[in-house]
Amino acid sequence: REIEDVKIIYCSAGLGHTLAISDKNELFVWGFNNCGQLGLGDQITRWSPEKMTQDSKGNRIPPFKKAVCSYYSTYAITERGKLYSWGKGYLGHEGKSTEFLPRRVETLKRNFTDVFCNKDMFSVYSPIK
């Protein structure tokens, strides 16, 4: 019911999880969560959409303009061009392969305008100035 009156402008689906971005840049997630791919801080599967509220540092989630699902992970770009990732696999965080909450990718010192992924990899686009 949390998503019932929300206008959805973008969706992405992975192997067993889905996300939706609202017209207010809120991120909703649902589906399997065995690898933390929902980014809700646990591994509990959700069958109904749930709004993401906090990142790995306990801060409020920034407004996201695009997000994509791979098999077991999720990648998102904020309105300010910052990249976040969570779930399992290569997430762009040095030495860490699993995150249960969205974590900003700080190893890439750029602002991004787009993100793409397939089952087990991701790529981001940053315009050259």
What is the predicted pLDDT for the residue at 94?
64
What is the predicted pLDDT for the residue at 97?
78
Buried b (16+ CB within 10 A) or exposed e, 113-124: eebebeeeebeb
What is the predicted pLDDT for the residue at 67?
95
pLDDT-derived band of residue 109, with 50, 70 and 90 as boundaries?
Answer: confident
Tokens of 75: 């990648």
Tokens of 117: 């992924």
Q: What is the largest CA-CA distance in the chain?
A: 44
- Distance CA(69)–CA(64), nearest Å, equals 14
Residue 96 has pLDDT above 70, yes or no: no
